[in-house]
Homo-oligomer: A and B are copies of this chain.
């Protein structure tokens, strides 16, 4: 939309904070951002991580007056900032757009539901495996790759392991050990690079019952 303005954020910079007036929303041009919530005990729950092409906080400008979570850039990033008021106007005049918006929110909710499933009792190694498989899928999508192939693949963690751990609802130490457990499944982790021998086998492992 023509009214948006691009804005630069540096690593660690706050984009908005829980409770702020929700009068804008965002699309990521490049970089990564996290949506999170600080809990009373000092911990942080990472609700979602976003990257280039994805939008977030669209939901907040409707209904609520304030953001229900905080957001922060986890890398140097460029975001498009949209005015909520102007967007609302457009929505009122365009039923088609409203429907698309509803569909996108519905997808977002499905995502949240999936996330809830993950955070629950499932063992840490499996949670990590799911996460890695997700990253593989992204890469394959981008490369327009055949969905059926099963090359060894090299992926890079989009942000440091502390954040990966938070995203998966575990401690950094536990993440380390989860990587350890995945070694026997052909997952090698070196720095921010992860080498996966058989994405398919890993995907199978995610579904395993104990």
A contacts, CB < 8 Å to B: 37, 39-43, 45, 47, 59-60, 62-64, 68-69, 88, 91-96, 98-99, 101-110, 112-113, 115-117, 119-122, 169, 207-210
**Cβ of B91 and Cβ of A98 under 8 Å apart?**
yes
Q: Which residue of B43, B68, B94 is within 8 Å of A113 (Cβ)?
A: B68
A36 → chain B, closest Cβ, in Å?
10
On whether A113 and B37 interact (CB within 8 A), knowing A98-B99, A99-B92, the answer reads yes
**Cβ of A113 and Cβ of B47 under 8 Å apart?**
yes
In the complex, chain B residues whose CB is within 8 Å of the CB of A42: 209
C-alpha spacing A37/B115, complex, angstroms: 12
Q: Which residue of B41, B102, B103 is within 8 Å of A210 (Cβ)?
A: B41
**Cβ of A95 and Cβ of B91 under 8 Å apart?**
yes
C-alpha spacing A207/B69, complex, angstroms: 17
In the complex, chain B residues whose CB is within 8 Å of the CB of A106: 59-60, 62-64, 105
In the complex, chain B residues whose CB is within 8 Å of the CB of A91: 95, 98-99, 102
**Cβ of B112 and Cβ of A116 under 8 Å apart?**
yes
In the complex, chain B residues whose CB is within 8 Å of the CB of A109: 59, 68, 105, 108-109, 112
C-alpha spacing A43/B39, complex, angstroms: 27
